[in-house]
Amino acid sequence: MNYFSQETERLILRKLTEADIPVWAEFFVDNPNARFMGLDLTKDKIELATIWLDRQFERYQTNQFGQLAAIEKASGKFVGLGGILTRKLDNQPAFEISYSMLPTYWGKGYATELTMHMKRFGMENGVSDKFISIIHRENVLSMNVALKNGMKKLRESSFQGMEVFIFGD
């Protein structure tokens, strides 16, 4: 199992690096869905991208999976992030399938491809047989991705100060 180096039909998934910060910063430019990230959007886009990627670097260091860079095979372009995150849900360990795509790549099926791959990877490699996705209750696009990934809405909850739905198997 090499979590940090994977491929899907159209994507190469790899560890994030500090060099990815400027590219990921574009996620925070004129993106109506950035508000679903739970970050202080009054901060500069580079600062926001650094905060987000630093969380992943910390996860890598503590062997807690983390989001990976999603690179489009055809062009070599960075299209987004995705991966498995370890969470505590109701004081129990849980594994979240998480992703965020740059707006330019919305509607191309990359989010569905990536999340389905991560769920399959997690099951085939004994990470878990059940996964969740924590989705802001206004984020309809992500709810559709979760449904395509075989999840259903389990319940409402609060997460990092936001009202969310917990989707799962």
Q: What is the mean pLDDT of the chain?
A: 94
Contacts 24+ apart (CB under 8 A), 157-161: 159/38, 159/134, 160/38, 161/38
**How high is the pLDDT of residue 91?**
84
> Of 3.40.50.920, 3.40.50.620, 3.40.50.11310, 3.40.630.30, which CATH number belongs to 5-168?
3.40.630.30
pTM for this model (two decimals): 0.92
Residue 76 makes CB contacts below 8 A (sequence gap 6+) with none
Domain boundaries, the chain: 5-168
Q: What is the pLDDT of residues 36-79, one digit of tens each?
A: 888 888 899 999 999 999 999 999 999 889 999 999 999 999 99
Find out whether 132 and 97 touch, Cβ atoms under 8 Å: yes
Q: pLDDT under 70 in the chain at which residues?
A: 1
